[in-house]
Structures are given as structure tokens and as C-alpha cells.
Structure 1
Amino acid sequence: MSKNLSGADYPLSKIFSSDFEYVIPPYQRPYAWTTDQTSELFEDLHSFYQYEPDEEYFLGSIVLIKEENKPHAEVIDGQQRLTTLTILLAVLSNKLQGDDRKALLQYILEPGNKFEGLESKPRLTVRSRDRDFFASYVQGLKFDELFAMDEKALENESRLNIKRNSQLLDKYVSEKLGDDVEQIESFTAFLLRKCYLVAVSTPNQKSAFRIFSVMNSRGLDLQPTDIIKADTIGMVELDAQREKYNERWEEMEVELGRSRFNDLFSYTRMIHAKEKAKRSLLEEFREHVLSKGIGPEDLISAVLEPYAEALLIAKNSNYVAVAHAEEVNRYLKWLNRIDNSDWVPTAIEFIKNNKDKPEYMAWFFERLERLAAFMHICAYNINQRIERYNKVLSALENGHSPTDPINEVELTDDEKYKMLKVLDGDIYELTSRRRNYLILRLDAFISDGEATYDPTILTIEHVLPQTVDKESEWAQWWPVAEERKIWVHRLANLVPLNKRRNSSARNFDFDKKKNAYFLGRKGVSSYALTTQVIGYTQWKPEDLPKRQMELIDILAENWRLKPDA
């Protein structure tokens, strides 16, 4: 082991002692453990305590920037465990009284000793954004106040995780140990004496980040973005500059949320690589993005921040401009109904460079939505979708403008033919996501795009039932089974409804079905397509060909599916 690198295993009584003064640096990720990881940790600890109380329990490793014989320890890896263990010790302290509580609190708060030159302070100081919150409610044992907080009022995800994990551990301690002081003390003694962490320390930041990049965390694996952050910001020499870059990084992460922030790196990789990922995101991001010699300033200013802003516009459908904004946002909302996100890299690349050209934005997103709808409805697989979008991404790198727009986002005549063929087929036999998208898009075209929809309560129903009783009116109107088979699943015979009604109404005769099944509680339908059907007086074989043609024409006109359109 290098002379600058040391490692040893310590019981928690030593980990949470005056030998260590933990500080979570600002460039670290937020506290991200959810109740899943916290539940797993507590159940593992309690099970071990019950069945193997005399054995030692290993909690994993932590990586610190720490000089020998000095307590100050900058946590590079391990904040999730240290924070969660602090919460657990605080919850246990809160269950005790008097001297017992005071004794246990010493593992949460350094009581100070003027003769040893020790100040009174928390053993663990979390990131500045959440420092006062954690110190007050967890380390200050104000759990009643914490539990009473409205989760929607909490400022960020880390505070939400702190609250939820505190509640979970409080619940588990109550269930497993009850109010039995001896049980609480026995379990606490097990934690402090029998549970160990390996602390790996180095005074060198570069070495610490290298260790951080190759080690796995227990419970919540490191995200590629955490390692990229360590690789990038860890190279900055000046503290002030590192703080500045970290703050901007953290603002993006908070604004996007952790999941969408991770997606941002996948989309950025796709924009640069223009091919399906073959290896891990970390490897490919390093190869296709960081290998270009991008430093912290350029990575944040020229790459991540512009794409993060574009991603928020794309996913929230909140483009703002003096003109065409409503039009652009309408297309973005439909794109977000597609059951994949393969369109996003193309969208954010265009938004990044053209958001100040609202007319061009409207032109592009009308075509991108049509392209996405085509691949969705025609059941393109992921490889086909990526290949097709990458043609557009490649074209975006070349010169284009509102007067000379890119042609690759347009459908080819062959693609238009494929889509028209699917539209005139058995729509109901498409997957539910594909047919729902199509039916709602058609309904929006009929209502001039003014209708709004809640797809969670949508069902697509047949006018002519799938099963026809031989004594019914349907059997008289549709005596030929083969003719029924041709039309039952096609566009003309399908209507959207807000929710499933009494299933027996599906086979009612036409007039009764319209009133009992198609009309809402207020005597009207929420959908233009269904309202059209309610206006029919009969539903016979001669009625459907004309309706089918009319509906196909509406789709063809609005999606411009005819050759040269």
C-alpha cells in the first residue's frame, strides 16, 4: 500500500468518535438512499443481531481525504451509509432518556472538550444545502417536527429521503425493539461494538477520486454521473473554482431530478456517438464526450447546461416564445406520449441550437412528432428507431436554417406508404399503447387539437361488437360473419371512452349501446370520435367504408402522408 494511502477496519464506536470529523464536500451527490436501501440495511443488521450476536458484521468501505493524526475527513465515498447510520443512532437516542441518551448522543455530536481542544460539533456535517436541516431535525432529535412536515413542502429529494428514512427507522425500531430499554441498549451496543467499516484514507485528492471511481458502494451503486463528476471536478485545483463548478452541476441535478439527470448523460452520449450503446454509459461517455479534452468549464457550459435546459423544455413541454410556443408545446406533449424516449436526443440537439427561432421550432417538431408517430404505430424496434433518428442527428450537424431546413426529419414516400397501410388495417390488434396513441391523435385532429386527454382512464371500444348474438339487431345488420371480421377491428369501428362501463352493455343493440355505453354522465362524450358515432342512426356494412375513408383522409392530411406532401 502506498505511503499516502492507509486503510483499517474500525467498529462504529471508533468510526463515530473524535478520531473522525466527517464532512460531505459540496461536489458530492445528494443523499440518495431511499427506504429500499435503508430497509435492507436495518433488516440485515437486526437479523445478524438476532442470530449471530457474537460475530462481527462488515458494513463495507468508505473513502476519505484525511491526513494522518488529524480528524478532519472529507468523504469521497460512503456518505450514504454514514448518513443513514447517523439517522439510526439518532432514532435510537430518541428512544432513550437521561444519561443513556446523553451517552449515545456522543456518537452523533462531539460534545467538545476544552482541555483537548475539541469543539462541540456534529460528527457528520452533510452538504451545505441540507446541513442545517439535518443538524436540526436528525442530530437535534426533533423527529416529531420532522415527521409532521408536508413532503410536498420539502425543498429537494435528499430532504425527502432524510424524512422518509427517519420515519422508516423509527417504525422498525418500535416494531423490532419496542419500548424495552434493555433491548434498545443491547442492539445499540451490537451496532457500536460488532459492526465494522473499513476506512480508506489518503491526503491526496487525486488518489481519493481514483479510489472512488473504482470502488462499489454498498446498497446504492454509484451512478455513472457520480464518477464522471468525480473525474471532472476532481481535476480542478483551486477550491473556489471547484466550488463554482460543483454548484452549477448540483443546480442541474436538483432541477432535473436524479433520474432525469442521469438520462441527460445517456442522451448526450447518443448525440455524440450516434449509435446504440455497446458498453456501459461511463465507458462510452468517456470515449465519445470526455475524450475530446473537454474540461470542467466546457463540459458544464457548452455541453451539459444547454442540453439540460433543452431537456426541461422537451420533457415538460414548456417552450416559451413570442410566437408558435403553443404549437411547439402541443407537439412536445404528443411526443411525450410515445412509449420510448429515443426521440429525445434529436429534440434536445435541435432545441439547444434553435430555441430562438420559434417558427423553425414549430416546423421541426411538427415533423419530429410525425416521424416518432410513424415508427411507434408501425412498430419499429429500438435498432430501427435509433438508426432513423441518427440520420436526423447527423443532418443537424450540417448547415441548415429556416430557409434551408433539414430534409432527413421528413417521412420518405416509402415510409408514408407503410404508415397508410397500417392505418387501414386492424388497428385494435396493435399493442394498447400504439392503438391508444393513434386513436387519441385522430381525435385531436378532428377537434382541431383543442381537446386534452387523460390516457390513464382511456379504453378503446368496438361499435360493432366482437361477439354478435344471433338474435340481436347486429346479426340482422351484419349477417355475414366474414364481413364482420373485416371491419370489427378497423379504425371506423373503434371509439375512445373515458373508462370501462358495464361490460354487458358492449353487446347491446346500437341505440341502446350509444345511450348506455358511449354517453358520459352528462349525456355527452369527451371525445370527438365518439360524438360522431353517436350521431349515426344505424351502423350497417354500408356505413363503415365511407367512415373509414374519411378517417384515413383526416390522418393523411394532418400527418401529410400522401406522396410529395
Structure 2
Amino acid sequence: MPTALTAHQQTISRIFSDDYVFQIPNYQRPYAWTIEQARDLFDDLIGFMNASPGEVENMPPYFLGSIVLIKKEDLPDADVVDGQQRLTTLTILLSALRTQAPEKDASDITHLIYERGSQIRGTQDRFRLSLRERDRSFFHSYVQREDGFKKLLELSDNLSDSQENIQNNARMFDERLRSLPEDERPRLAQFIVTRCYLVAVATPDLDSAYRIFSVLNSRGLDLSATDILKAEIIGGIAEAQREGYTTKWENTEEDLGRNSFGDLFSHIRMAYRKAKPQGTLLREFREHVTKNSAPDRFIDEILIPMADVYEELTDSAYASPERAESVNESLKWLNRLEFKDWVPPALAFAVRKRNSPEKMESFFKDLERLSYWMLVTRAGINERIDRYSRLTRAIEQEENLQATDSLLQLTKNEQWDIYAVLDGPIYDRLSARARSAVLLRLDALMSGGGAQYDYDTITVEHVLPQNPDAKSEWTSWFPDAAERVSLVHRLGNLALLTRKKNSSASNYEFGRKKSAYFTQGGISPFVLTTQVLKHDIWDPDVIQQRQSELMKKLEAHWRLEERKDPQEAFLE
């Protein structure tokens, strides 16, 4: 009876021997190591070898990490759960060494890459490593066969991303090896084969292999939760359908990009969990998402629809014959927030109502309003997660989101709270990112929409300086120091710049500040700043009048007319 787990430290000569026949399952992601990662491996090997002068057999061992396999103890066949990138890259490096080795050494290296068949024994060539089906024949032909490597270097046909990575790394290894002294190449080959080690961790089944995979992942190896979930989910699909669902999964991941794809899983977890996470993404995804959904249905009915919606939300690219511009305007401002907790309820709503433009428009206007209330009132993460989670539940239960008591709407007291912050010393109350978001939203409202803010740097600056010189015109316009302090951080005294702030320039007299600091070439791309340029003086009356005008804009847009002071409500 096979043991549940074996772990053996093996030399590369033992790894690439008859003891193992490595297979990359189709549910694994494609070969992804770039030149940078392959070069790092090569440089590490050369650096370690050169730091150990003398005979190779006397060098200390070099550890290349662990690989996780599904393998029965008495059979060589091994599905690679983790280790594809290293095994593939090592094979490419061995192939590169073979092309520059003497015939005898080249034959020895070939034996590490594949076992030659025998006509007398009736056996066929057996490759030590077989990639996923999409890349298998390419790898056999151009990397593992003796006559393939030089052809690989010259290929110019359209290649897939994984095949390009193979070719790029082969070219890099070829160039680096040619730059070595001739006697150093066989020394490097001997060092890799006899002094480099991998720990081969093997279990006989997928479940135990992925438990190990999860532990290794938690200890810092370059693995992701989505890789583990992919193997679990696709591994649970009937073999005849597995390749098709692997393609669906990988196409979805490629469309979003690896980082965004990982973010999507976190948002799906929250949409189903509807509470602050208490465990790892893996554990909670299993408990709250995949546990109640067949693997194929998860991909068809949850992952792909939510990925399509997620891309529209994060790119502000909702497509519809009508209302799309309005929806995308709201999405644009949601995406400027410093938190992403709004995404799960947005996903939950859009995946259900994306074909109803009027409902999409109404929902996202209200979600922008709710989310900026959280931003401006500095709601903590627990408060945000609780509110958005309860909103997600209300969406699932088809509650009336337009009702005054809906979790999507602001109460009269909440309207008061956001209004009070906006009408107060907002510069001092909000973080730099939050106040930029509010000022940019206000600028867009003042411009009537359509303004673009694609600048590398956008900062919020005071018109009246925070610390004006005692002899400047500022102090003559603001003789009352207390009044000056009460106005300096308010909306009416703020403008936007497309440059980093300059502490000395910020204290310029008003005329010089307008021409030398607030504009570039005499103009500003911001309506809020252009307003400032129209004034000849900047005194308390100007700030207060501007404050009133700007507050009316925000009040109308975020519908704050029904605000009610909670203290007054308490007294009633």
C-alpha cells in the first residue's frame, strides 16, 4: 500500500532519469517564465559555481527548491502540481548546453532530456518532461530533440505566449553560454547535473497534493490561490470535458490579466461570503462559492459572467445602446476611490441587471453617492464591508433599492454627515487621495462632463496660502487671523494642479501665483482652477461665495437636500 507522502532530495541527474516521467496536466497555466526569471536562475548558478573553486564533485550542494507531484511510489509517471517553471527552464538550459558540448557530453545530456527508444526492444523515445498538450509537440521538436534547438532560435512564425517564452529563454541561454570560456561550459553542465538538488514531494492523489501545494504557497513560493482553485475545479470535471474548460479558464484569465483575475476571485468571495473575511481566500472560496456549485457550472455560470462584468466595471466600459455614458461616468468615479469594497455589490447587481440600462444607471449613480459618503466621512473598513455586504444580500433578495430605507440610499442623518465634512475644512479632514477624488469629481461636475484627467500628477493646492507672509497682500485681504484659519482649508479656497506642490511657490502673491504656479502656458485644464484665474483679488467674500456655489453643485449631484442634523432629530 503506497504511503500518503514521500519527499526525496534528488540531484538533477536523478530527477531527469528513469525514476520520473513528468507530465504537465492540461489544467496548469502555460509556461510563463520570462527572460528576467530565467536569467536570474542562470546567474545564480554561475555565481554559486564560481564562488566554489576546485573540483565540481567537492562543491557544496545547490538547492533549487521543491516540486510537488501526483505520483504513485512504484511508478515513474508524475503529474506536476508545482514545479513546471523550473523543470521546463532546466530542460531548456540543458538543451542549450547540449548544442555547445562535445559529442560524448552531448549524448549524456540527451539521456537527461529523453530516453531513446530501441527498435530491438520495441520501445519508443520517452521524454523526461511533457508539457501541456498545447505546447507538447513544440517542446519535443524544438527543445528536446537534438536537431531542434538551432531551429528554435531562428523561428519567426507566430508563436503563443508560452512558446515565445521558451524561445526567448533559449536565445538568452545560448548567448550567455557562448560568452563563457569554453572549458566553463562542461563544468557548468556537471555542476547542474550532480550538485544541484530538488526536493520531490509526491502524493498519490490530487487532494493531498494540493494540500501540500497550499502549505508551500503560504510559505512564500510563487504560487497563487487561483492556481490551486483552478486545479481543484477543473480536476473535478469529467476528463472528456476538461480540456475545453481549461481553455475557457485560461482565456478568461488572459483577458483580465493575472493580477486582475486574482482580484476577481477576492471580489467573488466577498459577493458570496457577505461578511468580513475570517480565513484565507482558498478556504472561504471553497466554503462559500465552489461548495454549492458543480465545477462546470461554476465556470459557465459564475466565473465567466462575473469576469465579463468585472472587466466592464473596472474599465468603465459598460456597453449598451442607451445610458452607457452615464453608467460609465459613475464607474469612472468609483474606480478613483482608494478602496475597492464597492466591487462585490456592483458585480452582484450588474451580473443580474446589465441588460437593463435604466436600472444600471440608477444603481451606479446611487452606488457612487453611497461610496463617496463612505470616503468623505472616513468610514472604517469594518463599516464599509458590513454596509456593502448587507447591500449585496439585498440585491440577491431583489429588494427595492430605491426605497428610502434601502441600504443603497443615504438616510437624512448620513446626508448631513457628508455635507458637514464637505462644507468644513475638507483639506485637513481627508487624505491626499480622498480630497483629490472629491475635487476632481467636483471639477467634472463644473465642466458639465467629458473632462479627461489623464495626468501623471494631480495635486490639491490652496489659493490663500496656509502660512502667508506677514507683510504680504494676503494678510491685508485677511486681517482677521481666525477668519483666515477658518477658510483656508475649505473647498472655496482649493484648486487643482498638474504638478507637485512647491512650498515656496504656494506663498506667492496672488497675481504671481496665478501666472507662474496655477497655469502652464497661461491656461489650466481644470475648471476649478480656471475660476480662480478670473479673480483679481482673493478675499473672504470671494472664498465664501465660491464655497456656496461649489456646495450647491455637490448637494445637487449627491442629493443631499433632505439632510437632517442628528442632534436636531434627537431633540424632536
User: Please, what TM-score do these two structures have when normalized by structure 1?
Assistant: 0.86
The answer for the alignment partner of 2:449 in structure 1 is 449
The answer for the alignment partner of 2:82 in structure 1 is 77
The answer as to 2:131 corresponding to 1:126 is: yes
The answer for the alignment partner of 2:569 in structure 1 is none
Which stretch of the first structure deviates more once superposed, 357-366 or 254-263? 254-263
Residues 96 and 354 of structure 1, relative CA distance in 2, 3 Å threshold: same
Distance 2:219 2:192 in 1: 17
Distance 2:404 2:36 in 1: 49
Letter in 2 for 1:87: I
Matching residue within 54, 57, 74 for 2:59: 54
Residues 516 and 130 of structure 1, relative CA distance in 2, 3 Å threshold: farther
The answer as to 2:92 corresponding to 1:87 is: yes
Residues 524 and 220 of structure 1, relative CA distance in 2, 3 Å threshold: same
Residues 191 and 403 of structure 1, relative CA distance in 2, 3 Å threshold: same
**Alignment partner of 2:549: what SS?**
helix
**Alignment partner of 1:425: what SS?**
coil
Letter in 1 for 2:335: N
The answer as to 2:462 corresponding to 1:462 is: yes
Residues 7 and 494 of structure 1, relative CA distance in 2, 3 Å threshold: closer
Which stretch of the first structure deviates more once superposed, 46-55 or 343-352? 46-55
The answer for the alignment partner of 1:277 in structure 2 is 277
Letter in 2 for 1:356: N
Letter in 1 for 2:247: E
Say whether the 8 Å CA contact 1:306–1:352 is kept in structure 2.
Answer: yes
CA-CA distance at 1:226 after TM superposition: 2.3
Gaps of 5+ in 1: none
Distance 1:159 1:553 in 2: 59
Distance 1:489 1:4 in 2: 66
Distance 1:286 1:83 in 2: 31
Distance 1:42 1:218 in 2: 24
Residues 257 and 147 of structure 1, relative CA distance in 2, 3 Å threshold: farther
CA-CA distance at 1:495 after TM superposition: 0.7
Which stretch of the first structure deviates more once superposed, 368-377 or 135-144? 135-144
Distance 1:458 1:147 in 2: 46
Residues 226 and 472 of structure 1, relative CA distance in 2, 3 Å threshold: same
Distance 1:46 1:365 in 2: 56
**Alignment partner of 1:543: what SS?**
helix
Residues 119 and 329 of structure 1, relative CA distance in 2, 3 Å threshold: farther
Which stretch of the first structure deviates more once superposed, 192-201 or 529-538? 192-201
Residues 93 and 497 of structure 1, relative CA distance in 2, 3 Å threshold: farther
The answer as to 2:237 corresponding to 1:232 is: no
Which stretch of the first structure deviates more once superposed, 460-469 or 275-284? 460-469
Say whether the 8 Å CA contact 2:404–2:411 is kept in structure 1.
Answer: no
Distance 1:217 1:29 in 2: 19
The answer as to 2:362 corresponding to 1:380 is: no
**Alignment partner of 1:22: what SS?**
strand
The answer for the alignment partner of 1:180 in structure 2 is 181
CA-CA distance at 1:204 after TM superposition: 5.5
Say whether the 8 Å CA contact 1:501–1:517 is kept in structure 2.
Answer: no
Distance 1:418 1:404 in 2: 20
The answer for the alignment partner of 1:513 in structure 2 is 513
User: Please, what TM-score do these two structures have when normalized by structure 2?
Assistant: 0.85
CA-CA distance at 1:148 after TM superposition: 9.9
Letter in 1 for 2:534: G
Say whether the 8 Å CA contact 1:57–1:195 is kept in structure 2.
Answer: yes
Q: Deviations over 1:188-214 (max 9, x none)?
A: 211101223344556756665566556
The answer for the alignment partner of 1:193 in structure 2 is 194
The answer for the alignment partner of 1:336 in structure 2 is 335
The answer for the alignment partner of 1:243 in structure 2 is 243
Q: Deviations over 1:241-273 (max 9, x none)?
A: 222222222222222222222222211221121
Q: CA RMSD in A?
A: 3.5
Letter in 2 for 1:450: G
CA-CA distance at 1:416 after TM superposition: 1.2
Distance 1:189 1:332 in 2: 58
CA-CA distance at 1:333 after TM superposition: 1.4
The answer for the alignment partner of 1:411 in structure 2 is 410
CA-CA distance at 1:377 after TM superposition: 2.1
Residues 268 and 500 of structure 1, relative CA distance in 2, 3 Å threshold: closer
Say whether the 8 Å CA contact 1:37–1:220 is kept in structure 2.
Answer: no
CA-CA distance at 1:22 after TM superposition: 2.7
Which stretch of the first structure deviates more once superposed, 180-189 or 39-48? 39-48
CA-CA distance at 1:16 after TM superposition: 2.4
Distance 2:190 2:228 in 1: 35
CA-CA distance at 1:5 after TM superposition: 7.1
After superposition, residues 306-325 of structure 1 pair within 5 angstroms as: 306-325=305-324
Residues 433 and 204 of structure 1, relative CA distance in 2, 3 Å threshold: closer
**Alignment partner of 1:538: what SS?**
coil
CA-CA distance at 1:4 after TM superposition: 8.6
Q: Kindly, what percent of the aligned residue pairs are identical? A: 45
**Alignment partner of 1:518: what SS?**
coil
Distance 2:289 2:562 in 1: 40
Say whether the 8 Å CA contact 2:423–2:551 is kept in structure 1.
Answer: yes
Letter in 1 for 2:317: N
Residues 333 and 91 of structure 1, relative CA distance in 2, 3 Å threshold: farther
The answer for the alignment partner of 1:435 in structure 2 is 435
Q: Deviations over 1:25-68 (max 9, x none)?
A: 11113335567865665565445434565333443443444577
**Alignment partner of 2:556: what SS?**
helix
Letter in 2 for 1:229: K
Q: Deviations over 1:334-366 (max 9, x none)?
A: 111111111111111111100110110010001
Say whether the 8 Å CA contact 2:416–2:563 is kept in structure 1.
Answer: no
Say whether the 8 Å CA contact 2:153–2:170 is kept in structure 1.
Answer: no
Q: Deviations over 1:506-550 (max 9, x none)?
A: 3332223212222222x3210111111111121112211111111
Q: Deviations over 1:80-112 (max 9, x none)?
A: 221232233345446657665565455345565
Which stretch of the first structure deviates more once superposed, 35-44 or 488-497? 35-44
The answer for the alignment partner of 2:570 in structure 1 is none
Q: Deviations over 1:308-353 (max 9, x none)?
A: 1211111122111110111111111111111111111111111110
Which stretch of the first structure deviates more once superposed, 54-63 or 371-380? 54-63
Q: Deviations over 1:378-423 (max 9, x none)?
A: 2222111101111211211212469879922111212111111111
**Alignment partner of 1:59: what SS?**
strand
Say whether the 8 Å CA contact 2:413–2:563 is kept in structure 1.
Answer: no
Gaps of 5+ in 2: 53-57, 565-572
The answer for the alignment partner of 2:534 in structure 1 is 535
Distance 1:103 1:72 in 2: 22
Paired residues, what number? 555
Which stretch of the first structure deviates more once superposed, 100-109 or 413-422? 100-109
Say whether the 8 Å CA contact 1:95–1:179 is kept in structure 2.
Answer: no
Say whether the 8 Å CA contact 1:313–1:319 is kept in structure 2.
Answer: yes
Letter in 2 for 1:80: Q
Residues 507 and 70 of structure 1, relative CA distance in 2, 3 Å threshold: same
Residues 457 and 122 of structure 1, relative CA distance in 2, 3 Å threshold: farther
**Alignment partner of 2:479: what SS?**
coil
CA-CA distance at 1:131 after TM superposition: 4.6
**Alignment partner of 1:562: what SS?**
coil
CA-CA distance at 1:119 after TM superposition: 4.5
Distance 2:163 2:380 in 1: 40
Letter in 1 for 2:306: Y
**Alignment partner of 1:396: what SS?**
helix
Which stretch of the first structure deviates more once superposed, 58-67 or 549-558? 58-67
CA-CA distance at 1:479 after TM superposition: 2.5
Letter in 2 for 1:124: L
